[in-house]
């Protein structure tokens, strides 16, 4: 009998892989070890639980532990942590509730250990009312804190998409929200034009936005009362009854590193096209050991380089592909374009590919970028709103390499660019894409096509 397919970590990548492997080969034993209790939950939904849009935390669970066990025949073991991997003996060491360790053989192994919220060396991180949003229990704790302690003000530290979503959520709960961002702008990966539009909107919505402001820590008597931050040469402070620290996530790689598995240039676990890992010593493929999800790298489809994009679709897709592969149908995990979309109060913002010009140059491109404002419907049709589209091309290959859009409506239009990037379309090809037009849905020239037209013109001018 084949040894089982063992999965470490019961979230998007792990459970997708387990389910797919079982569907491909129902006779194969599939065991998932999850150190927590929650499995297969929509982390991206947590801000909407805090906001109140989602009523029950359980609603965020895509497939319950019971369904995995009963309907999908996956041997799911929660509260069990894998603490060691022996890639020669092909075993994992698993710690149970009582701390006892057992060994299990695997035929194939998937490392899906995810990522953790970064906790900077802030003072007062252990005060009551200071949260990082890294799992469902934390979302629950924030929700209860707001309900029970009735804080009046909140400080969100970090202007990434989690920070922006939490600002909206806490504003909706009636708190006065401040946002602290060390850098000169929020939503870094979305590019300057989109970030500025979002920032103006956050301020319009009453968020006290403090850019280029480095937080030092938090103070209070048991519970957080003030945020201390750098100002001038010294420090200043402002009140906050609740603090959310959302400064990014780091891949959970200890288990892999200890097992001698190679990390890539981003610090996440290096993988090949099929999600297989490499030996840190000699760079050879570690047979039967895969990694996927927030702990692993994926290939950026624009640059062809390893990238670390801890987002749900990448995790689900790679997990599913690895499940198919170990189930007998070798399937590439697919790359990532780094596509992301975020709601910021009344605005939507989305991005894909490479937008930052410096990063584009590092990847060997000669980036040309344009930003246009275009209506989402003809002027005469009610409900037209303005969409700001930034489109980036490479003057050398003439390829589309990135885009960012922001507006009140229609930001899923980013998908046309994400598809163009997947297919390595040139700017001229995107310009000629036959996008759908009728007055209730779009102007004749869709904003994406308009941006491609303008970018095409800029690139021609550059060549002349």
Residue 213 interacting with a second copy (CB under 8 A): no
* Contact code string over 55-84 relative to a second copy, x by CB under 8 A: ----xx------------------------
Should residue 53 be labelled a site residue for a second copy when binding is judged by CB under 8 A?
A: yes
Minimum distance, C-beta of residue 60 to a second copy, in the bound complex (Å): 6
Spacing of C-alpha 266 from chain mean position: 15
Tell me if 306 contacts a second copy by CB under 8 A.
Answer: no
Q: Do you know the residue count of the chain?
A: 464
Question: Going by DSSP bridges, is the β-strand pair 400-407/347-353 parallel, antiparallel, or unpaired?
Answer: antiparallel
Residue 316 binds to a second copy (criterion: CB under 8 A) = yes
Q: At what angle do helices 192-204 and 161-172 cross, to 10 degrees?
A: 10
Q: Which part of the chain contacts a second copy (CB under 8 A), choosing from 142-150, 171-179, 227-235, 438-446? A: 438-446
Q: Do 5 and 21 contact (CB within 8 A), yes or no? A: yes
CB of 205 to a second copy, least distance (A): 16
Query: In angstroms, rounded to a whole number, what is the distance separating the alpha carbons of residues 461 and 171?
Result: 46
Task: Report 20-49 residues binding a second copy (CB under 8 A).
Answer: 42, 44-45, 48
Is-contact 227 178, C-beta < 8 A?
yes
Q: Please, what is the minimum distance in Å from the beta carbon of residue 307 to a second copy?
A: 11
Q: Which stretch binds a second copy (CB under 8 A): 78-86, 94-102, 245-253, 337-345?
A: 337-345
Contacts of a second copy in 340-369 (CB under 8 A):
340-343, 348, 350, 352
Helix 12-24 and helix 312-326, axial crossing angle in degrees, nearest 10: 30
As measured in angstroms, the least distance from the Cβ of 368 to a second copy is: 18
Residue 301 interacts with a second copy (CB under 8 A): yes or no: yes
Q: Which helix (H) or strand (E) holds 393?
A: strand 386-394
Nearer to a second copy, 10 or 129 (CB): 10
Nearest CA to 240 out of 309, 162, 304, 157 is that of 157
Minimum CB distance to a second copy smaller for 210 or for 453: 453
Residue linked to tokens 């060691």: 84
Position 446 contacts a second copy (CB under 8 A) = yes
Is 271 an interacting residue with respect to a second copy (CB under 8 A)? no
Q: What share of the chain is helix, strand, coil (3-state, %, to 5)?
A: 30, 30, 40
97, 440, 461, 463: which one binds a second copy (CB under 8 A): 440
Find the catalytic residue in 3, 24, 35, 44. Answer: 44
**Count of residues touching a second copy (by CB under 8 A):** 71
Burial class of 397 by CB neighbour count within 10 A (0 to 12, 13 to 18, 19+): middle
In terms of CB distance, is 112 or 151 closer to a second copy?
A: 112
- When the beta carbons of 102 and 444 are compared against a second copy, the nearer one is 444
Active site residue 295: no
Closest CA to 210 of 226, 197, 229, 224: 229
Q: To the nearest whole angstrom, how small is the minimum distance from the Cβ of residue 316 to a second copy? A: 5
- The three-class DSSP label of residue 156 is strand
Smaller CB separation from a second copy, 10 or 220:
10
Min dist CB 449 to a second copy, Å, is: 8
CB 257 within 8 A of CB 270: no
C-alpha span between 355 and 271 (Å, rounded) = 24
Question: Contact 218/243 with Cβ under 8 angstroms?
Answer: yes
Please say which residue, 210 or 317, places its beta carbon nearer to a second copy.
317
* Strand segments (E) across 395-438: 400-407
Kindly tell me which of 164 and 224 has the beta carbon lying closer to a second copy: 164
Query: Which residues, 6+ apart, have CB-to-CB distance to 451 below 8 Å?
Result: 370, 372, 374, 389, 390, 391, 403
The β-bridge relationship of strands 242-245 and 130-132 is parallel
Q: For a second copy, which is the closer residue by CB, 156 or 452?
A: 452
Closest distance of CB 110 from a second copy, Å: 18
Least spacing, CB of residue 4 vs a second copy, in Å: 25
β-pair partners for 132: 245
Contacts of a second copy in 112-171 (CB under 8 A): 161
Binding range to a second copy, per CB under 8 A, among 77-85, 126-134, 186-194, 445-453? 445-453
Q: Within 377-436, which residues bind a second copy (CB under 8 A)?
A: 378-382, 410-425, 429-436
Nearest distance in Å: CB 410, a second copy: 7
Among 183, 236, 313, 396, binds a second copy (CB under 8 A): 313
- Please give the Cα distance from 192 to 212 (Å, whole number): 15
Q: Which residues are catalytic?
A: 44
């Amino acid at each position: 009998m084949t040894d089982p397919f063992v999965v470490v970590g019961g979230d998007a990548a792990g459970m997708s892989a387990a389910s797919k492997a079982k569907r491909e080969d129902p006779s194969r034993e599939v065991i998932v070890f999850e150190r927590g209790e929650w499995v297969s939950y929509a982390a991206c939904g947590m801000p909407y639980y805090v906001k109140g849009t989602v009523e029950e935390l359980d609603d965020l669970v895509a497939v319950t532990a019971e369904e995995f066990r009963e309907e999908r025949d996956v041997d799911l073991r929660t509260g069990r942590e894998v603490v060691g991997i022996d890639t020669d003996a092909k075993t994992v060491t698993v710690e149970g509730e009582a701390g006892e360790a057992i060994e299990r053989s695997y035929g194939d192994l998937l490392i899906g250990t995810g990522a953790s919220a970064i906790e900077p060396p802030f003072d007062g991180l252990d005060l009551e009312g200071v949260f990082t949003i890294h799992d469902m229990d934390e979302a629950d704790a924030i929700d209860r804190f707001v309900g029970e302690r009735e804080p009046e003000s909140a400080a969100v530290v970090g202007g990434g998409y989690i920070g922006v979503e939490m600002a909206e959520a806490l504003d909706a709960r009636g708190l006065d929200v401040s946002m602290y961002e060390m850098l000169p702008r929020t939503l870094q990966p979305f590019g300057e034009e989109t970030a500025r539009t979002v920032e103006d909107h956050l301020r319009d919505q009453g968020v006290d936005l403090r850019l280029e402001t480095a937080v030092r820590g938090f103070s209070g008597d048991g519970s957080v009362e003030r945020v201390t931050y750098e100002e001038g040469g010294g420090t200043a402070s402002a009140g906050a009854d609740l603090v959310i620290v959302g400064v990014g996530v780091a891949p959970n790689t200890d288990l892999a590193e200890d097992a001698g598995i190679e990390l890539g240039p981003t610090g996440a676990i290096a993988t090949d096209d099929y999600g297989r890992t490499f030996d840190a010593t000699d760079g050879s493929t570690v047979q039967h050991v895969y990694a996927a999800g927030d702990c692993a790298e994926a290939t950026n489809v624009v640059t062809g380089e390893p990238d670390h994009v801890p987002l749900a679709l990448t995790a689900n897709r790679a997990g599913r592909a690895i499940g198919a592969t170990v189930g007998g149908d070798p399937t590439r995990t697919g790359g990532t374009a780094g596509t992301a979309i975020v709601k910021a109060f009344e605005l939507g913002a989305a991005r894909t590919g490479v937008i930052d010009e410096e990063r584009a140059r590092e990847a060997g491109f000669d980036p040309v970028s344009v930003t246009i404002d275009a209506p989402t419907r003809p002027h005469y049709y009610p409900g037209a709103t303005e969409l700001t589209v930034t489109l980036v091309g490479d003057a050398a290959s003439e390829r589309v390499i990135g885009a960012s859009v922001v507006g009140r409506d229609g930001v899923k239009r980013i998908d046309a660019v994400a598809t163009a990037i997947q297919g390595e379309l040139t700017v001229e090809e995107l310009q000629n894409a036959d996008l759908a037009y009728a007055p209730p849905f779009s102007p004749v020239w869709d904003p994406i096509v308009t941006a491609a037209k303008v970018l095409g013109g800029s690139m021609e001018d550059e060549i002349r």
